[in-house]
Amino acid sequence: MSLADDELTGARVRFAPSPTGKLHLGSGRTALFNWLVARGSGGAFVLRLEDTDSERSKAEFELDIMDSMRWMGLDWDEGPDIGGPHGPYRQSERMEIYRGYGERLLAEGKAYKCWCSATELDERKKAAVAAGKAWRYDRKCASLAPDELARLEAEDAPYTVRFRVPAGTVAVDDMLRGDVNVDASEIDDFIIMRSDGTAGFHLAVVVDDITMEITHIIRGDDHLTNAVRHVLLFLALGAAAPRFLHHSLLFGPDGTKLSKRHGSTSVSDYREQGYLPDALVNYLALLSWSPGAGDEREIFTPAQLIEEFSIKGVSASKAIFDFDKLNWIDRQHIKAKSDSEVTDLVEPFLVKTGRGELLDLPRDRLEIAVTAVRNSLERLTDGLDQMDTFVRPAGLLDAKASAELAKANERDEALEICMRVLRAEPSSDREAAERIVETMRAEAKERGWGAKKILWPFRLAVTGLTIGPDLVYLIMFWGPSGCADRIETTARKLEGKRE
């Protein structure tokens, strides 16, 4: 965290998703920004589940959100699974707390009971709209005569509790946008307690942010209008409003909000597709943040992001998701890993895709198979098909390879040369493998052939395929004599066909 952000020392921030769907990339980015601020400022990162919509909130989505965050490396200090001093961390378990605050606002006259039914409200709204007026709650219940009030209370009819929006200007202190001032007369007397006694969204959020001692609220700019109501509630409850940062939402390349139409939108989809968590984190951070003017760096590890991320570098402009850029970044992160690390990362995908034969390989050979394909990987799953080359039985030719071998001139002589060169080399390390390929080239040259005349049948005979990893890896994987044996098996099959 840069020094200019020193007001961010010990920031207590929260990520407050509603578990009504899998963790969306946009929410993952919100979580990331909060996490970076918490970690960079030596503060705390709170996970709170806003599950007040009991119909749409699902346990499976809670799990997906938490798993996806863990996969991204965004660990939290307090949350529904680990508890903490300000729990519970699920809003559905905090209704009693909200009720207490709702009653306090009522007792202080900062809120009032509203007996208007949904039907009545709807009728008045329609009338207002028909008269060309914008509808805002008309405050019918804000100033009921005492006898009317007593009658309604005695009737025991259902009521909601509305916040009495005070007159004046409300200032939202936004770290990205400066002070956002709104005339309170533009705001409805919004509902803070529903008729079933549960808290409305705004009250729940503010009570949580107060009781969880949140110092900075970082979330998408779709909540900017809510922030005005939140500031009013903070003040009404005698609490200082936290600082806000409303970052831009994610948009697709066509400028509309990022949705399934553009491609995968949930973090878990990217995990399944074989993206590296560090690459996704890197890309999501870069979508609205850069290290500074003239600093062209684009590749950051999470530790570097913690070190370098600063509010100063965050831009308010539209964040456009660029799939090609993500792939490029993923590739850079894969490149930066050692062969052994990439092998570890690929292994779960071998398990998932049922590639038991590859998994049964001794580790050093599996590592060669991974190394053979890793340079072309944009995602960890990209090389799986190519890796299958290494578990093909000897002499099994696909149609294309078969046709190619059938028409190759001087094929038998080329294969003889391959076998001779291979059998002469006892070692199977990289240098030996490179030496073998060089010798084959030299043998071709001696005969006035192009190198392909030997190397092509070599590939076809060893793998039975027309495409596949670099020859050097084939030799390293099977060893020179193993390759020679495979060529011999193929040669015998070809022989058999001729007879």
Return residues touching ligand GLU (CB under 6 A): 16-18, 50, 205, 219, 223
Element (H, E) at 246: strand 243-247
HSE-CB at 153 with a 13 A cutoff on CA atoms is: 9
Output 216 or 219, the one with its CB closest to ligand GLU: 219
Distance of alpha carbon 261 from alpha carbon 236, whole angstroms: 43
Residue 468: phi and psi, rounded to 5, are 165, -175
Task: Name, in order, each residue with C-beta under 8 angstroms of 90's C-beta and a sequence gap of 6 or more.
Answer: 48, 49, 51, 80
Known catalytic residues are 260
* Shortest CB 35 distance to ligand GLU, Å: 14
Nearest to 68 by CA among 385, 173, 316, 76: 76
On the 0-12 / 13-18 / 19+ scale of CB atoms within 10 A, 487 is buried
* Shortest CB 304 distance to ligand GLU, Å: 27
Distance of alpha carbon 487 from alpha carbon 397, whole angstroms: 11
Contact 15, 47 (CB under 8 A): yes
Task: Name, in order, each residue with C-beta under 8 angstroms of 364's C-beta and a sequence gap of 6 or more.
Answer: none
Output 46 or 418, the one with its CB closest to ligand GLU: 46
* Shortest CB 29 distance to ligand GLU, Å: 13
What SS3 class is residue 345? helix
Output 91 or 463, the one with its CB closest to ligand GLU: 91
Contact 288, 318 (CB under 8 A): no
* Shortest CB 219 distance to ligand GLU, Å: 4
What's the DSSP call for residue 106?
Answer: H
* Shortest CB 164 distance to ligand GLU, Å: 22
Token pair of 116, please?
Answer: 């208007």
Output 50 or 189, the one with its CB closest to ligand GLU: 50
Output 205 or 387, the one with its CB closest to ligand GLU: 205
**CA–CA–CA angle 386, 389, 392 (5° rounding):** 150
Output 46 or 436, the one with its CB closest to ligand GLU: 46
Output 223 or 452, the one with its CB closest to ligand GLU: 223
* Shortest CB 38 distance to ligand GLU, Å: 15
Contact 22, 225 (CB under 8 A): no
* Residue 424 CA: distances (Å) to CA of 433, 463, 483, 486: 12, 21, 12, 16
What SS3 class is residue 179? strand
Distance of alpha carbon 67 from alpha carbon 20, whole angstroms: 15
Is the CA virtual torsion 315, 316, 318, 320 positive or negative? Answer: positive
Q: What is the DSSP string of 16-57?
A: ---SSSS-BHHHHHHHHHHHHHHHHHT-EEEE-B----TTT-
Residue 80: phi and psi, rounded to 5, are -60, -30
Task: Name, in order, each residue with C-beta under 8 angstroms of 333's C-beta and a sequence gap of 6 or more.
Answer: 276, 278, 279, 282, 299
HSE-CB at 402 with a 13 A cutoff on CA atoms is: 10
* Shortest CB 50 distance to ligand GLU, Å: 4
* Shortest CB 242 distance to ligand GLU, Å: 11
Residue of minimal Cβ distance to ligand GLU = 50
